[in-house]
Chains A and B, each alone.
Chain A
Amino acid sequence: MNFKHKYFFLFPGLFVLIGILIFPIIFVVRLSLSGWNSYNPGLDYIGLENYIRLFTDDPRFWESFFRLSFLSVTTVILQYVIGFALAHMVWKDIKFKRFFRVLFLVPMMTTPVIMTVIWRTFFHESLGPVNDLLSVFGVAPKWLTDPVVAKFTVIIVEVWQWTPFMFLLLLAGLLSLPREPFLAAAIDGASPVRKFIYVTFPLMAPISIGAIIIRLIEASKIMDTVYVLTSGGPGTSTETSSFYIFIKGLREFQMGYAASMSFTYLIIMIISLTIIAKVLTKVLLKE
């Protein structure tokens, strides 16, 4: 029997895959080999010129990359710790459990750009309510104008916005855990802390790795928060890779160069996230 016709059923899927994934990547690679900009639009061929410029003459890209690494790792660690704590709290039988489960998800349901505008108003150093309150204690942090503090302001907003996502994944994980190990631990008289360290945490390791990796992928694209909150300032102190690529591509219209940065960034992210996933698996699952 000839089953060749079965391959026709693959076409719709392949067509979508080529259209939305393969073609854009190939186009970005081709674009990165061109000098497309505002005064010279078109896919001319300039070889590896953009890549040479990126690797030899653009420290700002690498600075923004290391800044991004700091911001994303810090925010994801904080989101994991807080998200786990909140998920653990509503996993137990507490009063108003359903109310808290919904409440903790609210930040994630809001539009990031709008919420960042609101946070920017909160942190406005002369008109915002945060410093107004803190002035009672005689302090007025420079939330958006000090190069160090501004980084932490970005972290606060990111943690507030995306901890619910971590909470949601971890709560789903907790709810799916088998009851037997907990019963065994209870019979053995394990304290809540020991139960958490030796039962809950190891059982949650696979889902924790997944949640951390998903959030790291998302956090490594921090853009809207920076765009609205600080525009990458003061100076370049909160500029991340995606924001820098945005400036070069859509502000300065250096499309070819921005494409080379995007592709390089994609490669770096694939490699580094694969390594991180391997390390986390090794550490948490003790493989």
Chain B
Amino acid sequence: MKLMKTCLTALISSLMIFSPMAYADKWSDQFPHIKATGDIPGDCSYEKMSKKNYKGKTLKINTHAIPVMGEPTALHAEQFEKLTGAKVEVTHTPAGDLYSKAMVPFQAGQAPYDVVFGFSNFINDWKRYLAPVPKKYMNSPEMKDVTKSHMGVSSWDGTMYQYPVDGDRHYLKYRKDVIDNPEMQKKYKADTGNELRVPRTWKEYAQMAKYFNDWDWDGDGEKEYGSAEVMKKDDLMFAAFFSRSVAYAKNPRTPGGFFFDLETMKPNINNPGFVEALTDWVEATKYVPPGGTNFGLGDEIGSFGGGQTLFSFSWDDAFIAAMQDDSPIKNKVGAAPLPGADKVWNRASNSWENQYNQAPYIVWGWAVGVAKKSKVKDMAFDYLCFFSNGANHQADLAIGRFGVNPFKNSDFDPNIYINSMGWDPEIANSYTQTLLDMEKSNNRVFPLRVPGVFEFTSAVATGTSKALAGQLSPQEALDEVAKEWEAIVSRVGKKAVQDAYAVGVKMEDNKL
């Protein structure tokens, strides 16, 4: 009897353990992309999608160029076609033109694309042309798993217009094999008198980056450099600048706006906090690789991911690229919150507060919506739901060039990265903990999401790039930006900008 019981238990256990795999294999044989996990049950799983019939219907998608976001869009479109019989036409567009490619037909009352990819900060300009995400999807278990921050980023005043497919934030990436290396720590201490550790402030970041600049510190026969950053004009550089500014200018004791004073709509962009950050950034041009001041996001990913620099900060992509199997620095990198500062500007008292401050930047990221005028909205939402189903999402997370980053609570389980991606447990833990801490912080900065957002960010890119090129001093450059921002507010209408900005401020002040 005891033997029978044991056999029965073993049989049931085996069935429980292996049945998901058997289920998974059915789909992973056909779709190798999900071979690590197989299909994961859910509302938009492979199994569920295979039961839909969209034969004779065509879905038109405008997405980013390959690979970042463009490659997973095309891949999941192909899978969706095979599963549902639909025809999916994917158009690839450079990042800088995504806004206008959708906006021109939107304004002309047309919908040449059913699904449009863009950035989450387009939401204010795009929302009137997008269909809200239907309740059916809002109530799905997958959607319930999306973090509060990213539900907020995808929504406008409680209505979700952008389907979450990606989660973005800026954080610090560093070479763990250098920073944690006792020999390097000793050498650094002897040469500088300071501790070599994960930088807590931007000043420490600069000291270490300068020290490790322009010499072969990893013994590979080639010179390495201090930091890789997105500094190329108009190539997302404004986001890098905000990442450096939050430490000096986001004061938890002065709620009511990081970019503007919400009450007066006077720009904060040229206050001493932002000027200090830009001064640091100008200094950073001395410790980036040759040509580093012309680095776009792709260059930054390649530079840090290829082992060329000690530090980097921006989206996840460089970190994921560094942790891929083909990377020369796999399991040699660490993640940490953005550096802070030993002082923070108080715009209420108009003075510096000499205390440590750190603020996470939940930067805008990839977002996607369904055109209100689309004639195949159901299919479009099904496609998006399929795009980010459990299996696709986990597989996409493992591929740096895809640009798909964690945005679900379940993504912060380090075992995902340890088991399916071969990450060192310590690195996986520090990575997930860094992201999780940002979600929990009460001093977060969210992207600017106001009407005419591109005018504001373009003015920042122009002003800061003039400072980096030495055409203007940091104060002059930001004064110019502030003047331009005031002109934009006046053109758009103070009330329109103020009302929209208030939504973002509520999130920053933890009131939403």
Contacts and interface: CB of A to CB of B under 8 A. Distances in A.
Interface of A: 35, 37-41, 57, 60, 124-128, 131, 140, 142-145, 147, 230-237, 247, 250-254
B454 A251 contact: yes
A233 B452 contact: no
B468 A144 contact: no
A73 to B, nearest CB: 23
Given A38-B103, A39-B125, A140-B290, A147 B465 contact: no
Q: Which of A39, A57, A124, A250 has the most CB of B within 10 A?
A: A39
Given A147-B471, A252-B455, A235 B465 contact: yes
Interface of B: 96-97, 99-100, 103, 107, 125, 232-235, 289-294, 303, 308, 451-452, 454-455, 458, 462, 465-472, 487, 491-492, 496
Contacts of B96: 251
B125 A147 contact: no
Given A39-B492, A140-B290, 14 more contacts: A37-B492, A38-B452, A125-B289, A126-B308, A127-B291, A143-B291, A147-B470, A147-B471, A231-B234, A231-B235, A232-B233, A233-B233, A235-B465, A252-B458
A126 B465 contact: no
B291 A232 contact: no
B290 A125 contact: yes
Q: Which of A38, A144, A250 has the most CB of B within 10 A?
A: A38
B100 A251 contact: yes
A236 B100 contact: no
B235 A126 contact: no
A236 B462 contact: yes
B248 to A, nearest CB: 23
SS class, residues of chain A in contact with chain B: loop
A61 to B, nearest CB: 13
Contacts of B496: 39
A235 B285 CA distance: 13
Contact of B452 (A57, A125, A252): A252
A126 B99 contact: no
A126 B292 contact: yes
A145 B234 contact: no
Contacts of A250: 97, 100
A41 B235 CA distance: 26
Contact of B465 (A39, A40, A233, A252): A233
Contacts of A140: 290
B291 A125 contact: yes
Contacts of A253: 99-100, 103, 125, 452, 454-455
B234 A232 contact: yes
Given A39-B452, A235-B466, A251-B458, A126 B233 contact: no
Contacts of B454: 38, 251-253
Contacts of B487: 57
A180 to B, nearest CB: 55
B308 to A, nearest CB: 7
A79 B491 CA distance: 44
22 contacts: A38-B451, A38-B452, A39-B496, A41-B107, A125-B289, A126-B292, A127-B291, A140-B290, A145-B291, A145-B293, A145-B294, A147-B470, A147-B471, A232-B233, A234-B233, A235-B469, A247-B234, A251-B100, A252-B452, A253-B125, A253-B452, A253-B454
A60 B483 CA distance: 14
Contacts of A35: 491
A143 B294 CA distance: 10
Contacts of B234: 231-233, 247, 251
A257 B308 CA distance: 43
| Pairs of residues from A and B, 3 with the lowest C-beta to C-beta distance, nearest first | A125-B291, A235-B469, A234-B469
A41 B452 CA distance: 11
Contact of B291 (A124, A147, A236, A237): A124
Given A125-B290, A232-B234, A254 B455 contact: yes
B233 A231 contact: yes
Contacts of A232: 233-234
B204 to A, nearest CB: 25
A143 B491 CA distance: 38
Q: Which of A35, A41, A233, A253 has the most CB of B within 10 A?
A: A233
Given A234-B465, A235-B468, A39 B451 contact: yes
A103 B49 CA distance: 55
B458 A144 contact: no
A252 B468 CA distance: 22
A234 B237 CA distance: 12
